[in-house]
Structure 1
Amino acid sequence: MPSPLGRGVSIRQEAVRLRELQHPQIPQLLEYFELDTDLYLVEEWIPGQTLAQELETQGLFSEAQIWEILQQLLPVLQFIHVRQVIHRDIKPANIMRRTAVGGTGKDLVLIDFGVAKQITATALLYTGTTVGSPGYMAPEHMRGKALPASDIYGLGVSCIYLLTGISPFDLFDVTSDRWVWRDYILNKDAVSDRLAAILDKLLQNSLPQRYKSAAEALVALNCAIKLESSQPGKPKSGDNLKSQAGVDYHHLRDLLALRQWQAADKQTWALMCQAIRKPIGSYLFTGDIENLPCEDLQIIDELWKKYSKGRFGFSVQKQIYDSVDGDYAKFCATIGWSLALSPSSVQQLSFRLSAPPGHLPSHNWAAGTQVWRHLNALNAKLANC
């Protein structure tokens, strides 16, 4: 349903301006009309989830994901700023990950241009009505003078919120007048110094100390990425976790490295579906397990073992199952799955490293009620790989 944008001739002129923004990462403005003196925008519908929704369902974002966000969105900001438009409300809820037909999407789309403003000589000289989202607004924006650099600031705040899951209000220390987002990073090695330096400059309160434009920030970003990938001990771009089946395991690795066990568990199910060419969320049968490529099964298992320090993983579960002579009830009791011999047994989960060895990954993907048959099939697959 369309929403009201505002009133007046100047607002209609800005709506016309928005219609000229033709970019694959910006929803197309289809129509605008007045109703009871309010102006409404009708925009292209973008299927997918916002980054705010992803944070709720998948947990904290990794450094790799933040690099991706900056790489995708800085060019979009450069595009609109060159065309004399300021978004004025950059935040995770206004960044959508487009869902491709039949799978997950990668393209990020900047949505909700309802409060976007055309840059004019008058707009730059005088303050105006303050619109935007508290916590994400730059100091000059809060005083009613939004600038292109204000959008850059909002992008920086969005990134540190996705990294920490902490409200921007709590990430800024008013007593020292500075951002303290580093104090809330769970894994102190999770954010490299190069990325941290870029985020800090995006977040500068002082305009002269902030990036002057999205183009300047993009140059700094690309230089940092090249330096980061060439650093000794860092994986090169060719050293990836992509299987021959075309499944990319980088996100699973990042979730496990951050100990986001629940999100990693959901991601494991999704990746298993991808590896056997089934829709994500499909329940798997024993025949599906037999068709799971050995390479993919081994990558998943090794990642779980590595980042749990040997506590979790399919091969860990196999060792425990073998130690109880294939008794599924004893197996469930050993790894902390309640209600043995029932599919609900794997739904009573503890997503903590302190959970019993073998507790994760879950077998929520198992179809039917005879879930011990899936464990047998999985163990047979592991033995033959």
Structure 2
Amino acid sequence: MSQCLNPNCLNQNPPNTNFCQKCGAKLLLAERYRAVKIIGKGGFGRTFKAVDEFKPSQPFCVIKQFFPDAQGTQNLEKAAELFAQEAVRLESLGKHPQIPELLAFFTQDNRQYLIQELIEGKNLQQELETTGQFNETQIWDLLNDLLPVLEFIHSQQVIHRDIKPENIIRRPDYSGKKGELVLVDFGAAKYATPNTLAVTGTVIGSAGYAAPEQAVGKAIFASDIYSLGVTCIHLLTQVEPFELFDVSENDWVWRDFLSSSISDDLGNILDKMIVGATKKRFQSVEEILALIKPDIFDSSRSEKQVSDFSPSASIPEVELSSEVGIDYGDLHDFLAAKKWREADIETARLMLKITHQESRGKLNIRSIDNFPCTDLQTINQLWVKYSNGKFGFSVQKEIWESFSNQTFYLTYEKFGDRLGWHSIIGWTNYDNLIFNVEKAPDGHLPAMFAMSGNWVWFMELGKLFSALIKRLKNCEI
């Protein structure tokens, strides 16, 4: 059949018809996309299953038509903006296998249309209604499958803002195994920058699944973590989220609705995903993955790797050697006394002195390229020795290389996240660094040598660190 797209008609026509037999409207969009049937309707318009007649295989796709229920000029303009925004977000996310691919976005007959890949299969709400409550293994599988997708979305500075069972579709797997999960419907997605995160935005999201801060227009990356956590407890209990939260106690009571017990490991992770206070919630997907997949996302490195850097192993003593006559006595004393801030400032001072950049006040790529290997080795070994393998250039190099298969921008941003130099609100002010070996992330120091003034300027620092990694390799550090 050929479905008419005129919102006032919607007549079903015989196959291969070019014009609606009832209203005369053109049935082909952009001379190639033919709607077959309506498969959904929401506040922004209708969704149609369609065929791409331009391709020889004539594959199925999805047509999203903007035809909002919103009333009033301001509401209509906002609805149109959000609809167009979905196209922008899908395009920016590229061709991730677990995100619908954007095929086209255009206007025809004064209506906006978005064409995207059709994701066959049932969504998780349909699965829940068909097969009942999910068990612990299914929830672990869900987290393992979806968290990397969410990590990718956030790395592109996008907050989904509408994660719920209906927006997670499982691809069919004809081998008898369940297929991978796909995250759909980016109509509510937001591009997150320090400026957009600092202001109150549109209140959007699905009731029960939206985090408290999102409900007042302050969505952050951790808001998606909250929604995914609520999705998990809904699937575990088959009870609506509102009923899983005790308003009088201001606390979740989802365990009261479990038909079978779950492990403390899973329970504790879910609890931290759905806590209302954002500072007590997981701040990033990487934090959760570090618990679920410690062999891949291990922020503290293995015992063997740490022992390789420990003072009692490969570097019991450090020779304060220098190719250019630098006195490392003060740096040694600061580090031995665990005075991390003073040691960091002294490191930056010495590096500027070694490279003759004192008047400029910061390093550049050329100065890094020519940094004496002996001095680089001495500074690194002092930091590694007295931090017991937690701080130092070699630690930073190891973290950088763990992301080396990514794009430069993604490598550098993930690097900043792991070192604690970067967060959802941008790059960290120097005064907000953590000068405590117990609390700071691995590789957190030294830091001042890489900072421009009090703030990290990400592009300059990214290039600087890329040059430093290359120099460390050349110096066999």
Query: Residue 348 of structure 1 corresponds to which residue in structure 2?
Result: none
**AA aligned opposite 1:171:** L
**AA aligned opposite 2:288:** A
Candidates 66, 82, 106, aligned match of 1:33? 106
1:165–1:14 Cα change, 3 Å: closer
**Does structure 1 retain, via aligned residues, the 8 Å contact 2:86–2:186?**
no
| Matches of 2:290 and 2:148, distance apart in 1 | 10
1:50–1:224 Cα change, 3 Å: farther
Q: How far apart are 1:61 and its partner, in Å?
A: 0.3
Q: How far apart are 1:105 and its partner, in Å?
A: 3.1
The SS at the match of 2:276 is coil
2:225 aligned with 1:152: yes
The SS at the match of 2:293 is helix
| Matches of 1:71 and 1:205, distance apart in 2 | 23
1:11–1:91 Cα change, 3 Å: closer
Write out per-residue CA displacement over residues 301-329 of structure 1, whole angstroms, 9 at most, x where no aligned residue. xxxxxxxxxxxxxxxxxxxxxxxxxxxxx
Structure 2 gap segments, 5+ residues each: 1-47, 49-62, 67-78, 298-477
Q: How far apart are 1:126 and its partner, in Å?
A: 1.1
Query: Residue 64 of structure 2 corresponds to which residue in structure 1?
Result: 3
**AA aligned opposite 1:164:** T
| Matches of 1:35 and 1:204, distance apart in 2 | 45
Query: Residue 19 of structure 1 corresponds to which residue in structure 2?
Result: 91
| Matches of 1:14 and 1:225, distance apart in 2 | 32
1:34–1:125 Cα change, 3 Å: farther
| Matches of 2:142 and 2:120, distance apart in 1 | 18
> Which has more helix, going by share of residues?
1
Structure number with greater CO (CA < 8 Å, separation at least 6) is 1
The answer to which of 215-224 and 136-145 deviates more is 215-224
1:47–1:11 Cα change, 3 Å: closer
Q: How far apart are 1:121 and its partner, in Å?
A: 3.1
Candidates 127, 130, 136, aligned match of 2:209? 136
Q: How far apart are 1:217 and its partner, in Å?
A: 1.4
1:153–1:13 Cα change, 3 Å: closer
Larger-Rg structure:
2
| Matches of 1:12 and 1:186, distance apart in 2 | 43
Q: How far apart are 1:131 and its partner, in Å?
A: 1.5
| Matches of 1:65 and 1:106, distance apart in 2 | 13
1:147-226, aligned counterparts within 5 Å? 147-187=220-260, 189=261, 191-223=262-294
Q: How far apart are 1:223 and its partner, in Å?
A: 4.2
The SS at the match of 2:182 is strand
**AA aligned opposite 1:3:** K
Q: Normalising by structure 1, report the TM-score.
A: 0.54
| Matches of 1:162 and 1:152, distance apart in 2 | 15
Query: Residue 369 of structure 1 corresponds to which residue in structure 2?
Result: none
Q: Normalising by structure 2, report the TM-score.
A: 0.44
Q: How far apart are 1:208 and its partner, in Å?
A: 0.6
1:1-385, aligned counterparts within 5 Å? 1=48, 2-4=63-65, 6-8=79-81, 12=84, 15-21=87-93, 22-35=95-108, 39-101=112-174, 103-187=176-260, 189=261, 191-223=262-294
1:180–1:225 Cα change, 3 Å: farther
Count of residues paired in the alignment: 223
| Matches of 1:44 and 1:133, distance apart in 2 | 23
CA root-mean-square deviation: 2.3
**AA aligned opposite 1:15:** A
Write out per-residue CA displacement over residues 31-87 of structure 1, whole angstroms, 9 at most, x where no aligned residue. 112357654322210111111111011111000000000111111000000001111
| Matches of 1:90 and 1:17, distance apart in 2 | 15
**Does structure 2 retain, via aligned residues, the 8 Å contact 1:123–1:145?**
no
1:155–1:13 Cα change, 3 Å: closer
Write out per-residue CA displacement over residues 79-123 of structure 1, whole angstroms, 9 at most, x where no aligned residue. 000001111100011111100246443201111112211113332
Q: How far apart are 1:128 and its partner, in Å?
A: 1.6
Structure 1 gap segments, 5+ residues each: 227-385
Write out per-residue CA displacement over residues 141-194 of structure 1, whole angstroms, 9 at most, x where no aligned residue. 00012111111000000000000000000000111111100000112x2x1011
1:120–1:182 Cα change, 3 Å: same
1:224–1:202 Cα change, 3 Å: farther
**AA aligned opposite 1:197:** N
| Matches of 1:39 and 1:86, distance apart in 2 | 23
| Matches of 1:89 and 1:16, distance apart in 2 | 16
| Matches of 1:176 and 1:225, distance apart in 2 | 38
**Does structure 1 retain, via aligned residues, the 8 Å contact 2:222–2:281?**
yes
**Does structure 2 retain, via aligned residues, the 8 Å contact 1:194–1:224?**
no
> Which has more strand, going by share of residues?
2
The SS at the match of 2:150 is helix
| Matches of 2:147 and 2:92, distance apart in 1 | 19
1:148–1:168 Cα change, 3 Å: same
1:18–1:106 Cα change, 3 Å: same
**Does structure 2 retain, via aligned residues, the 8 Å contact 1:136–1:168?**
yes
The SS at the match of 2:213 is helix
The SS at the match of 2:105 is strand
| Matches of 1:13 and 1:52, distance apart in 2 | 26
1:199–1:37 Cα change, 3 Å: farther
**Does structure 2 retain, via aligned residues, the 8 Å contact 1:198–1:221?**
no
